[in-house]
Amino acid sequence: MAGMRFRLLGRSGLRVSELALGTMTFGTEVRWGADRAACGRMFKAYVDAGGNFIDTANVYTKGTSERIIGDLVKGDRDRFVIATKYTLMLREGDPNAGGNHRKNLRASLRGSLERLGTDHVDLLWVHAYDGMTPIEEVVRALDDVVREGLVHYVGVSDAPAWVAARAITMAERMGWAQYTALQLRYSLIDRTAERELLPMARALDLAVTPWAVLGAGMLTGKYAEGARRRGRGRLEIEPSRAKGVITDRNATIVREVRSVATELGATPSQVALAWARTRPGNIIPILGVRTLAQARDDLGCLDVRLSAEQEARLDAASSIEPGFPNSFLASDLVTHLTFGGTRDRIDAPRDRA
């Protein structure tokens, strides 16, 4: 297996491995979780491959994920870049037990530090935009915990592009800690982040840590058997295998992924991860695994190199409409009117199209 390389976390100087280890499965409090022994084996496989970037959250397996991570890094804490999240609640019935506001940030971070057994986290994510807390409150509260040394860097997850961009602009103007990274859903199955979020990340020099890179398991190829066509243009998994449905579009993508995998002597999962790793920008996929076999398989993507022709086939099978305003601005008419018919004669280093 190829050795893990490292990337800068966005505009910071922090070095993180090119694959992050997701730990939403660390703990048996959820039906898809793994016990501590299995978590230890997955963690070791990742570390042996050169990984140092661990992604968790205060709510993962009701806090057990953080406890397991704390135990696993004990004695070698500074070797690892530990990222956790706040926003989602651990306690029902309390309106302040969740959200982006300062009170929940403080309470959540305090709990995370205790469970992780550390005095700081390297990266704190705003887990999800709550649509209610003023952006200036969030940015200032994050700056406070950075200044106190409780957090080294901050990032934003699952938020509209305008929210992240406004927060970064505000922090930049006020001299507060700025987001260095963006977490979002992205895969061959779901490329909608390419419309606004990924262009924003490239423009603002944010690292991107996509989750569900295997399309909720569809890109592993494991749903190909037992799928049957039902209704108009829809593939549905047999009830005994049901974890979702596969549309005709998704079935086409899965077939292309399997075809490329066969050509390369790789697995479909490795092809899907290799595609994500080579997308434009600073993309650091999160591995979502629950067994040692899955961890080893996913880490094998480090050895997979897609040809230009294979990338083009995967792109064609999974392409999406750019949507407004992207398709409108890229149209021949608008381009002609904007540049007076000289667009092809202008060398524009800042052009991010």
221: Cα within 13 Å, side-chain hemisphere? 15
Q: Which helix (H) or strand (E) segment is 252 a member of? A: helix 248-264
Between CA 69 and CA 40 the distance in angstroms is: 9
Between CA 53 and CA 127 the distance in angstroms is: 17
Question: What are the structure tokens assigned to 172, written together?
Answer: 């930049």
Give whole-number Cα distances, 19 to 178, 252, 276, in Å.
Answer: 23, 27, 11
H helices of 91-188, where? 102-116, 135-147, 161-174
Give whole-number Cα distances, 326 to 48, 322, 323, 334, in Å.
Answer: 43, 6, 6, 11
| Catalytic residue list contains 86 | no
DSSP assignment of 50-110, as one string? Answer: T--EEE--TTGGGGHHHHHHHHHHTT-GGGSEEEEEESS-SSTT-TTSSSSSHHHHHHHHH
Among 46, 60, 129, 153, the active-site one is: 60
Residues paired with 210 in a beta bridge: 184
What pairing do the DSSP bridges indicate for beta strands 151-157 and 179-185? parallel
295 DSSP assignment: H
Between CA 47 and CA 243 the distance in angstroms is: 30
| Angle value at C-alpha 285, between 43 and 101, nearest 5 degrees | 90
Q: Which helix (H) or strand (E) segment is 208 a member of? A: strand 207-211
Cis peptide before 95 (omega within 30 of 0): no
Between CA 319 and CA 287 the distance in angstroms is: 23
Active site residues: 60
